[in-house]
Chains A and B, each alone.
Chain A
Amino acid sequence: MDNGWVKPGAIIIVSFMVTFKLCVSTEMSAFKLLASFLPKLPFRPFASEATFKTQPYVLYRLEGPPAPAVTLNRADALRFFEEMVTIHQMEATLNHLYKSKTVRGFCHLYSGQEAVAVGTFAALRPQDTTITTYRCHGWGFLYYQSVDPIIAELVGVRSGCVRGKGGSMHIYGKHKDFYGGSAIVGSHVPVGVGIALAHKYRNTDAVSLICYGDGATNNGNVLEAYNMAKLWELPCFFLCENNIYGMGTKLERTTKNTNVFAKGDFIPGIRVDGMDVLSVREAARFAIEHIRAGKGPIIVEAQSYRYFGHSLSDPGTTYRTYDEIKEVRTTRDPITTFNKKILEAGLATEEELAAIEKKVKASVRESATKAEADHPVDVEELTHDIYANEVISEVRGINKVWKHKSSGRAWNLK
């Protein structure tokens, strides 16, 4: 044997063994391992678009379901991911602020339901309006595209979206068509129908999105609203965020007919998996198209789940088991399932998603710090904006003389 082969042979064997060891320890394929040593190429070898199957829909009084498969482009994928992560982080931060008593009062968190808001919002057009319940932080963030006004509002400082006057349950979107969160269950639903009347009247092709929970479906307000909406064929998009618990009672224990999507009588409905943002987006698109085509109102029941209790005063485990919550978190979480989907389809890399998450965490933390450092809402505001004008100069019942003041003309009366 020629001695010249020993050295190169040994090098080959050793490098093979090293590579093999590296592959085993890092669990990467040889190709990926090699690629990681290469300098990053100027173009990213990702898909710009991918097709996904949507979750099955259940229909009521409807022909033809929403599309069974949808395309998602890279920009949207990253956007949905970032929006859902932001909502999740914001809610987690608010939880900590609540526990440290920086946020007081009531706090109803949206964690677990992110896909419903993000998916529906993606289908809304600029002319559409939204009105929702007290679980409104997620919607508020989507309208403001920033968590600052929401966190500040809960902390009760001047930079809050309604200057600390409303709190957690009343996030309003000034200059945006977000008609706020509402505390009384079901009460905002006929208000949303009135808003829809204005849309129809003005021929703006706008849709009135009315969100409410499963608990509200037994409320007289909602049934009255359904009747009025269908009687007058108003452009109402009724979205039930069904997280199966009305405070502490499971839907099936309070409701004879749990097919929420089918309870609009003459109003058609769709049941969609609310944990899949793409299915939700598709259902929302379908609903808006249905209304635009002049077919009247529609109900979308998004089956969802909330990880926290009803509010932060509710531990959330006295009426359901830890196992149930854990099961949903591991198998149906809207963010991790979406994450997995887009990675597999090559729409994004793990590093990218991790970077987004890191950026969002930092930005939400910064918002919280900013809010905590801001000036609390002035105590004089106690007597401001009860009426439009200073019709009553003194507000009675308080020891000193407190003046009523109005902060100016309301935005919604454009």
Chain B
Amino acid sequence: MALNKICTLCLRQNSRELRILNNLINKRNHFVYTADAESPVKGETTKLNMFQAINNALDSALQSDESALVFGEDVAFGGVFRCTIGLQAKYGPGRVFNTPLCEQGIVGFAIGAANMGSTAIAEIQFADYIFPAFDQLVNEAAKMRYRSGGQFDCGKLTVRAPCGAVGHGALYHSQSPEAYFAHTPGLKIVVPRGPIKAKGLLLACVRDPDPCLILEPKALYRAAVEEVPVADFVLPIGKADVLLKGEQVTLIGWGTQVHVLLEVVHLAKTQFNASCEVIDLVSILPWDRNTVCQSVKKTKRVLIAHEAPLTGGFGAEVAATIQEECFLHLEAPVARVTGFDTPFPHVFEPFYLPDKWRCLDAIRNLLDY
């Protein structure tokens, strides 16, 4: 802010140069948000950003289901990202309450509540903090149905966690842990790309009969604004969305990365005259193999992009499946543009992220192969 003023006053640049300078200074996001072109349900809509849409979804869940509980660290005052604002005032501290700082305990407790038929919606303040609860999610929640021969379950459990890069999060406020959990049959994992998806997917998770994990890209909480349907609606878990149809390259991503890819499509068109198809995977577990393979068989070239590190990232699973099922259709090896195999860096974040330039470069290599 202050730097802006200095530029304006001291440098006396003309307005065009000022805009460029401002962009360089103010640039916090490595993406430009693109709203969904269509709404999944007809009817009245209202302009909401992603945290407001999530708030709306939680409100619907609490209203429609008497057994619903929302709890986690600091949710009472509204939460660090304001997703739970106003809920305690509306539904009371018996249904919306703070827990102590103990992720393992929070998720274990949530599993117990879900065991007893309560729709337990637990918030983990940052996905980076979910690891103490890894055992509870992987060993208890995911396996309870299987190990009890289908007699006991904790399917009414939903765990929400903000994930992904935000520009200044560094090692412990930027992680994308979807790959660790994708390795766990019994869980369901979804990643919304905007407010409409966030509302629909969160309600789907809350009403799903299996334990679900929804990873909400925190960079989109405020940056993503859409006309969100006012009505209660659910979106399907396990179904990928083809956002743009194209002929030459399939681009696959989820969460914030989808918006990077949507920008890359324009760059690819202008620079290489290539038409690209963009798929938002939406659901990490179970993931939509059919939609992906159908697209790859058509375009014959595919790029997968995600923020999480390369080795063992979820892109590896998608790539292995693609080469297994579409081998003879491929014109080039499956390309992955991902975070580096380093801990999420502090000052090096702009280099680390799979931004549009790295993606564009990979597309050129795919086309030239």
A interface residues (Cβ-Cβ under 8 A, vs B): 131, 161-166, 170, 172, 174, 179-180, 182-184, 187-199, 201, 220-221, 224-225, 227-228, 231, 384-389, 391-392, 395, 406-408, 410-414
Stretch at the interface among B5-13, B80-88, B146-154, B169-177: B146-154
- Tell me whether A391 and B238 are in contact (CB under 8 A): yes
User: Which residues of the other chain, B, contact A182 by a CB distance below 8 angstroms?
Assistant: 140
User: Which residues of the other chain, A, contact B99 by a CB distance below 8 angstroms?
Assistant: 228
B interface residues (Cβ-Cβ under 8 A, vs A): 94, 99-100, 102, 104-118, 120, 132, 135-136, 139-140, 145-153, 155-156, 185-186, 188, 208-210, 237-238, 286
Residue of B nearest to A193 (CB): B109
Residue in A189, A191, A386 whose CB lies within 8 Å of B115: A191
User: Which residues of the other chain, A, contact B114 by a CB distance below 8 angstroms?
Assistant: 194
User: Which residues of the other chain, A, contact B185 by a CB distance below 8 angstroms?
Assistant: 386, 395
Write the nearest CB–CB distance from B237 to chain A, whole angstroms: 8
Residue of B nearest to A189 (CB): B108
- Tell me whether B155 and A190 are in contact (CB under 8 A): no
- Tell me whether A387 and B210 are in contact (CB under 8 A): yes
User: Which residues of the other chain, A, contact B105 by a CB distance below 8 angstroms?
Assistant: 190, 193, 220-221, 224-225, 227-228
Known: A187-B135, A192-B112. 16 other contacts (CB 8 A): A179-B152, A190-B105, A190-B109, A195-B116, A198-B112, A198-B113, A225-B108, A228-B100, A387-B210, A388-B153, A388-B210, A391-B188, A391-B237, A406-B150, A410-B145, A412-B151
User: Which residues of the other chain, B, contact A231 by a CB distance below 8 angstroms?
Assistant: 100
Between A131, A196, A388, the greatest number of chain B beta carbons within 10 A of the residue's beta carbon is seen for A388
Residue of B nearest to A165 (CB): B149
- Tell me whether A162 and B118 are in contact (CB under 8 A): no
Residue in A187, A389, A414 whose CB lies within 8 Å of B140: A187
Write the nearest CB–CB distance from A10 to chain B, whole angstroms: 77
User: Which residues of the other chain, B, contact A388 by a CB distance below 8 angstroms?
Assistant: 145, 153, 155, 208-210
Residue of A nearest to B139 (CB): A184
Residue of B nearest to A172 (CB): B148
- Tell me whether B115 and A195 are in contact (CB under 8 A): yes
Write the nearest CB–CB distance from A164 to chain B, whole angstroms: 8
Residue in A224, A384, A386, A408 whose CB lies within 8 Å of B104: A224
User: Which residues of the other chain, A, contact B102 by a CB distance below 8 angstroms?
Assistant: 220, 224, 227-228
CA distance A392 to B150 in the complex (A): 16
- Tell me whether B116 and A165 are in contact (CB under 8 A): no
CA distance A210 to B207 in the complex (A): 29
Write the nearest CB–CB distance from B272 to chain A, whole angstroms: 35
- Tell me whether A220 and B152 are in contact (CB under 8 A): no
Q: Which 6 A-B residue pairings sit nearest by Cβ, starting from the closest?
A: A194-B112, A190-B108, A224-B105, A198-B116, A388-B209, A162-B149
- Tell me whether B286 and A391 are in contact (CB under 8 A): yes
Write the nearest CB–CB distance from B88 to chain A, whole angstroms: 15
Residue of B nearest to A190 (CB): B108
CA distance A386 to B211 in the complex (A): 11
- Tell me whether A187 and B139 are in contact (CB under 8 A): yes
Residue in A189, A198, A201, A406 whose CB lies within 8 Å of B94: A201
CA distance A131 to B148 in the complex (A): 13
- Tell me whether A385 and B100 are in contact (CB under 8 A): no
CA distance A172 to B115 in the complex (A): 13
- Tell me whether A221 and B147 are in contact (CB under 8 A): no
- Tell me whether A227 and B108 are in contact (CB under 8 A): no
Write the nearest CB–CB distance from B352 to chain A, whole angstroms: 31
- Tell me whether A411 and B149 are in contact (CB under 8 A): no
User: Which residues of the other chain, B, contact A195 by a CB distance below 8 angstroms?
Assistant: 112-113, 115-116
- Tell me whether B117 and A166 are in contact (CB under 8 A): no
Given A165-B149, A187-B135, answer yes or no on A227-B115 (Cβ-Cβ < 8 Å).
no
Residue of B nearest to A395 (CB): B185
- Tell me whether A414 and B117 are in contact (CB under 8 A): yes
- Tell me whether A408 and B135 are in contact (CB under 8 A): no
Residue of A nearest to B103 (CB): A224
- Tell me whether B135 and A165 are in contact (CB under 8 A): no
Residue of B nearest to A388 (CB): B209
Given A194-B116, A224-B105, A228-B100, answer yes or no on A170-B148 (Cβ-Cβ < 8 Å).
yes
What are 17 A-B interface contacts by the 8 Å CB criterion?
A131-B112, A170-B147, A174-B152, A179-B152, A180-B147, A190-B109, A190-B136, A191-B112, A194-B113, A195-B116, A197-B116, A197-B118, A220-B105, A224-B100, A385-B149, A387-B210, A412-B117
- Tell me whether A190 and B112 are in contact (CB under 8 A): yes
- Tell me whether A193 and B112 are in contact (CB under 8 A): yes
Residue of B nearest to A414 (CB): B117
Write the nearest CB–CB distance from B124 to chain A, whole angstroms: 14
Write the nearest CB–CB distance from A375 to chain B, whole angstroms: 15
CA distance A392 to B238 in the complex (A): 9
User: Which residues of the other chain, A, contact B150 by a CB distance below 8 angstroms?
Assistant: 165, 384-385, 406-408, 410
Write the nearest CB–CB distance from B224 to chain A, whole angstroms: 27
User: Which residues of the other chain, A, contact B153 by a CB distance below 8 angstroms?
Assistant: 388, 410, 412-413
User: Which residues of the other chain, B, contact A407 by a CB distance below 8 angstroms?
Assistant: 149-150
CA distance A14 to B145 in the complex (A): 76
CA distance A413 to B154 in the complex (A): 9
User: Which residues of the other chain, A, contact B111 by a CB distance below 8 angstroms?
Assistant: 190-191, 194
User: Which residues of the other chain, B, contact A414 by a CB distance below 8 angstroms?
Assistant: 117
CA distance A228 to B114 in the complex (A): 17
CA distance A196 to B116 in the complex (A): 9
- Tell me whether B117 and A191 are in contact (CB under 8 A): no
User: Which residues of the other chain, B, contact A194 by a CB distance below 8 angstroms?
Assistant: 108-116, 120
CA distance A178 to B89 in the complex (A): 36
CA distance A303 to B107 in the complex (A): 30
- Tell me whether A412 and B132 are in contact (CB under 8 A): no
Write the nearest CB–CB distance from B197 to chain A, whole angstroms: 19
Between A131, A164, A221, A414, the greatest number of chain B beta carbons within 10 A of the residue's beta carbon is seen for A221
CA distance A228 to B111 in the complex (A): 14
CA distance A125 to B110 in the complex (A): 25
CA distance A182 to B141 in the complex (A): 12
Write the nearest CB–CB distance from A156 to chain B, whole angstroms: 12
Given A184-B140, A187-B139, A389-B209, answer yes or no on A179-B115 (Cβ-Cβ < 8 Å).
yes
CA distance A412 to B117 in the complex (A): 7
Write the nearest CB–CB distance from B307 to chain A, whole angstroms: 25
Given A190-B104, A386-B145, answer yes or no on A220-B132 (Cβ-Cβ < 8 Å).
yes
- Tell me whether A197 and B112 are in contact (CB under 8 A): yes
Write the nearest CB–CB distance from A374 to chain B, whole angstroms: 15
User: Which residues of the other chain, B, contact A184 by a CB distance below 8 angstroms?
Assistant: 135, 139-140
Write the nearest CB–CB distance from B84 to chain A, whole angstroms: 18
Given A174-B151, A220-B104, answer yes or no on A387-B145 (Cβ-Cβ < 8 Å).
yes
Given A195-B112, A198-B117, A221-B108, answer yes or no on A411-B186 (Cβ-Cβ < 8 Å).
no
User: Which residues of the other chain, B, contact A221 by a CB distance below 8 angstroms?
Assistant: 104-105, 108
Write the nearest CB–CB distance from A211 to chain B, whole angstroms: 14
CA distance A161 to B151 in the complex (A): 10
